[in-house]
Amino acid sequence: MSEKLSRSSYDYLIVGNSTAAISAVEAIRRQDQAGNLAVVSGEPYPAYCTPLISYVLAGKIPESRMNYRRADFYQKMRVTTHLGHAVTEVRPEEHEVVLDDGAALGYGKLLLACGGAPIVPDLPGADLGGVFTFTRYADVARVRSWVQEHGVQEHGVQEAVVIGGGMIGVKAAEALQHLELRTTMVELLDRILAQALDERGSVLAQRALETAGVRVLTSRGAASLPGEEGRVNGVRLDTGALLPAQMVIVAIGVLPNTSLAAEAGVAVNRGVLVDDHMRTSLPDVYAAGDVAEGYDMLLGESRPIAIWPSAYLQGEVAGTNMAGGDQPFHGSVAMNSIQVCGLPTISVGLTEPARAEEVLEYNSPDGQNYRRLFLRDNRIIGAVFVGDIDRAGIITGLIREEIDVSEFKQKLIGRELGLLSLPKEYRKHKVMGPGMEV
Ligand SMILES: Cc1cc2nc3c(=O)[nH]c(=O)nc-3n(C[C@H](O)[C@H](O)[C@H](O)COP(=O)(O)OP(=O)(O)OC[C@H]3O[C@@H](n4cnc5c(N)ncnc54)[C@H](O)[C@@H]3O)c2cc1C
């Protein structure tokens, strides 16, 4: 394949350098050792672990733990990197992309793994100094230097507001509180983590944040961000109340980065549309990760599922198929694993009670742990774990494999849920693998 392409071209070109991109690189190399391969990313760093950025900001982990792969990864995989250069245009007819410095790179197969971008609301004052989003490594340095530069002055940063009580907002609030800023979280809905947890889980998560010192205001929206001399000094709520703040983090959601694809003529809905081989509507162009719509096994429809494991799996499928393999993507199950100020929580699948025919619940006597399972047609379609999350993997397996649990339902909410709670046949299948007989 390589000989046919000019020197500035690659057999495989990947836009993005995060979860989906890295697993695609690994999958391509499992299939094809010889083809030339490049990644392009607007960010200047080697791939890093996005979910850890709030822990780095809080100083809980060193920057050295951020690397997603070893330092010699690109060299070992023989990947040419174009880091610090965003792709501004895809030209499918020419089989090339254009970078922000005007350079063009040709491709044999192209993977769009360009993820998502934070939603920036159209609020008066959103462009003031001290207002940040928090989704990239560079945001850690921005937030940190704002606190350092302004934190020691007389009118320095003492109070922060986080707008949005989803996963990113919760992580950001926890980090700011850890930096000893008086932190308030403002959430439009009547509970935090509404997309991740059920109501009870939201209450426990809110309590954990409050115990750590974060003030949580639900059913409140931000109306404007007042400021002075170009710097934010508060958040005006839709109730008219003013929360003083010398720093604001806006965390109201992430949307797939679809513009490159859409402008190139790729079919796009909420995310880039892909088939079960992660092919887009254009020949030789694939998409994977947060930018794409993935098949949600439980909903039975495609939608963006912006989580790390799903991005990894989609990247693997895309990479394998780009390099001549044949691996279908069977779909993902939404999953959120969030530690809220030391309180571990995991939710899997569909956790709105209205979607279930039956809800099973376990509460530990000390009130510290609970587990809730949502069932339809004797199959688990969703689960929430708060506190003790050790057995979430077992339940996730039952969800993914759509196992009929009617015979052992009650054991699933027993105190000691373990593999032994499951029928012998299922255990055998787990140990020996599907289809194996003993
Ligand atoms: C703060 C935070 C915490 C999170 N915590 C969790 C968690 O605990 N668990 C979990 O499952 N998920 C978590 N997520 C979500 C998870 O990080 C994402 O689902 C995952 O990173 C998606 O990977 P991706 O490869 O699709 O895209 P992204 O990680 O979004 O990466 C996209 C890449 O594309 C590059 N790029 C974008 N546009 C261009 C362009 N035009 N040209 C060149 N390069 C471009 C970017 O620089 C980047 O390298 C978290 C996300 C954030 C922001």
Distance of alpha carbon 55 from the chain centroid? 15
Query: Which residue's structure tokens are 């793994």?
Result: 113
Determine whether the shortest distance from the Cβ of 115 to ligand 1 is under 6 A.
yes
Same domain flag for 364 and 415: yes
Residues 239 and 262 in one domain: no
* Residues forming a β-bridge with 287: 112
For the chain, percent of residues with pLDDT exceeding 70: 92
Q: Look at residue 388 in the predicted model and tell me its pLDDT.
A: 87
- Domain residue limits at 206: 131-252
Q: Are residues 308 and 364 in the same domain?
A: no
Residue 218's identity, in one-letter code, is T
Considering the domain architecture, whether residues 136 and 244 belong to the same structural domain is answered as yes
Token pair of 350 as six digits: 């569909």
| pLDDT score at 322 | 98
Cβ distance 372 to 359 under 8 Å? Answer: yes
Q: Could you tell me if residue 339 is inside a domain?
A: no
pLDDT for position 5: 44
The answer for residues whose C-beta is within 8 angstroms of residue 409's C-beta and 6 or more apart is 360, 375, 378
pLDDT, one tens digit per residue, over 336-348 is 898 899 999 999 9
Given pLDDT bands bounded at 50, 70 and 90, which one contains residue 6? very low
Q: What is the pLDDT of residue 1?
A: 46
Instruction: Please indicate, yes or no, whether residues 146 and 213 belong to a single structural domain of this protein.
Output: yes
pLDDT of the residue at 415: 66
What's the whole-number mean pLDDT along residues 407-427?
70
- pLDDT above 90: percentage of residues in the chain: 73
**Does 265 fall in a domain?**
yes
Q: What local confidence, expressed as pLDDT, does residue 152 receive?
A: 45
**Tens digit of each residue's pLDDT (9 = 90 or more) over 170-196:** 999 999 999 989 999 999 999 999 988
Provide the CATH number for the domain around residue 367. Answer: 3.30.390.30
Residues 242 and 269 in one domain: no
- pLDDT band of residue 434 (cuts 50, 70, 90) is very low
How far apart, in whole angstroms, are the C-alpha atoms of residue 349 and residue 380?
9
d(CA 328, CA 274): 11
- Which H or E run contains 31? helix 19-31
Q: Is the pLDDT of residue 149 over 60?
A: yes
Q: Is 340 in the pocket of ligand 1 (CB under 6 A)?
A: no
Residue 280 CA to residue 268 CA, distance in Å, equals 9
Q: What is the reported pLDDT for 2?
A: 42
- 167 falls within a domain: yes
Helix, strand or coil for residue 189? coil
Residue 40 Cα: closest atom of ligand 1 = 43
Query: Is there a single domain that holds both residue 85 and residue 15?
Result: yes
Whether 433 has a pLDDT exceeding 70, the answer reads no
Give domain status of residue 314, yes or no. yes
Residue 62 inside a domain? The answer is yes
Q: What is the CATH number of the domain that holds 291?
A: 3.50.50.60
Picking from 221, 252, 283, the residue at the C-terminal end of a domain is: 252
- The average pLDDT across 382-394 equals 89
- 269 occurs within a structural domain: yes
> Could you tell me if 273 and 356 lie in one domain?
no
Look at residue 413 and tell me whether its pLDDT is greater than 90: no
- Residue 108 Cβ inside 6 Å of ligand 1? The answer reads no
Tell how far the Cα of 129 is from the centroid of ligand 1, in angstroms.
Answer: 24
Cα distance between residue 198 and residue 126, in whole Å = 31
Task: Answer whether residue 40 shows pLDDT above 50.
Answer: yes
Give the number of the atom of ligand 1 that is nearest the alpha carbon of residue 99.
42
Q: Decide whether any atom of ligand 1 lies within 6 Å of the 260 Cβ.
A: yes
Question: pLDDT (tens digit, 9 = 90+) per residue, 293-333?
Answer: 989 988 889 988 889 989 999 999 999 999 999 999 998 88
Does residue 245 share a domain with residue 145? yes
How far, in Å, from the CA of 115 to the mean position of ligand 1? 5
Q: Is the CB of 289 under 6 A from ligand 1?
A: yes
User: Is the same domain home to 52 and 154?
Assistant: no
Q: Tell me the C-alpha distance between 116 and 136, whole Å.
A: 10
CB 236 within 8 A of CB 222: yes
Asked if residue 171 has its Cβ within 6 Å of ligand 1, the reply is yes
Position 265: which residue type?
Answer: G
Average pLDDT for the chain: 90
Q: How confident is the model at residue 23 (pLDDT cuts 50, 70, 90)?
A: very high
Ligand 1 pocket check for 308: Cβ under 6 Å: yes
- What's the rounded Cα separation, in Å, for the pair 265 and 242? 45
Count up the domains in the chain and report the number.
3
pLDDT confidence bin for 377, thresholds 50/70/90? very high
- Is residue 395 included in any domain, yes or no? yes
User: Ligand 1 centre from 391 Cα, in Å?
Assistant: 27
Extract the tokens encoding 144. Answer: 């940190």
| Helix H or strand E encompassing 211 | helix 199-211
Domain boundary residue, one of 322, 339, 368: 322
Does 157 map to a domain?
A: yes
Closest atom of ligand 1 to CA, residue 47:
49
- Per-residue burial over 199-227, b if 16 or more Cβ lie within 10 Å, else e, is eebbebbbebbeebebbbbbebbbbebbb
Tell me if 86 CB under 6 Å of ligand 1.
Answer: yes
* Distance between CA atoms of residues 348 and 293, nearest Å: 18
pLDDT of 151 strictly over 70:
no
Reported as a pLDDT band with limits 50, 70 and 90, residue 409 is confident
Q: What are phi and psi of 250, to 5 degrees?
A: -95, 120
DSSP state of 87: E
Kindly state whether residues 298 and 209 are assigned to the same domain.
no
Instruction: From 234, 252, 270, give the residue that closes a domain.
Output: 252
Whether residues 11 and 27 fall in one domain: yes
pLDDT of residue 96: 97
